[in-house]
Amino acid sequence: MRARVYSRQRTKAQLLIQRVLLNEMSSPEVKPEIRLEIGHVLFIDIVGYSKLLINEQSEHMQTLREIVRGTEQFRLAEAAGKLLRLPTGDGGALVFRTSLEAPVLCALEISKELKKHPELRVRMGIHSGPVNEITDLNEQANIAGAGINIAQRVMDCGDAGHILLSKHVAEDLEQYRQWQPHLHDLGECEVKHGVRVSVVNLCIDDLGNSAAPEKFKPVSVAAAVSTAKELPTNRKHLLVAGVIIAALAIGSFFLWQQKKPRGSASASAIQEKSIAVLPFENLSRDPDNAYFADGVQDEILTRLSKIADLKVISRTSTQHYKSAPENLPEIAKQLGV
What single string gives the DSSP state of each residue in 258-274?
HHS-TT-HHHHHS-SSE
SS3 category, 75: helix
Label residue 162 exposed, middle or buried (CB < 10 Å: 0-12, 13-18, 19+): buried
Strands 122-135 and 163-166, how do they pair? parallel
What integer best gives the mean pLDDT of the chain?
Answer: 78
d(CA 147, CA 129): 4
pLDDT digits (tens, 9 = 90+) for 259-279: 455 444 444 444 467 888 888
Q: Are the C-beta atoms of residues 114 and 67 closer than 8 Å to each other?
A: yes
The lowest-confidence range among 63-72, 127-136, 173-182 is 127-136
Listed in order, the ranges of the chain carrying CATH 3.30.70.1230 are 36-213
171-185 confidence digits (pLDDT tens): 999 999 999 999 999
Q: Is-contact 208 161, C-beta < 8 A? A: yes
Q: Of the CATH numbers 3.50.50.60, 3.40.640.10, 3.30.70.1230, 3.40.50.1980, which one belongs to the domain with range 36-213?
A: 3.30.70.1230
Confidence label for 297 from pLDDT (cuts 50, 70 and 90): confident
pTM over 0.85: no
Backbone angles phi, psi at 267, to 5 degrees: -65, -35
Residue 67's contacts (CB-CB under 8 Å, 6 or more residues apart) are 110, 113, 114, 117
pLDDT class of 228 with cuts at 50, 70, 90: very low
Indicate the burial class of 285 (C-beta count within 10 angstroms; 0-12, 13-18, 19 or more). Answer: exposed
Beta partners for 87?
A: 92
173-226 residue pLDDT tens: 999 999 999 999 999 988 877 788 999 999 999 999 999 999 887 655 445 445
Is residue 208 within 8 Å of 201, Cβ to Cβ?
yes
- Position 3 scores a pLDDT of 47
Identify the CA nearest to 147 among candidates 195, 95, 193, 182: 95
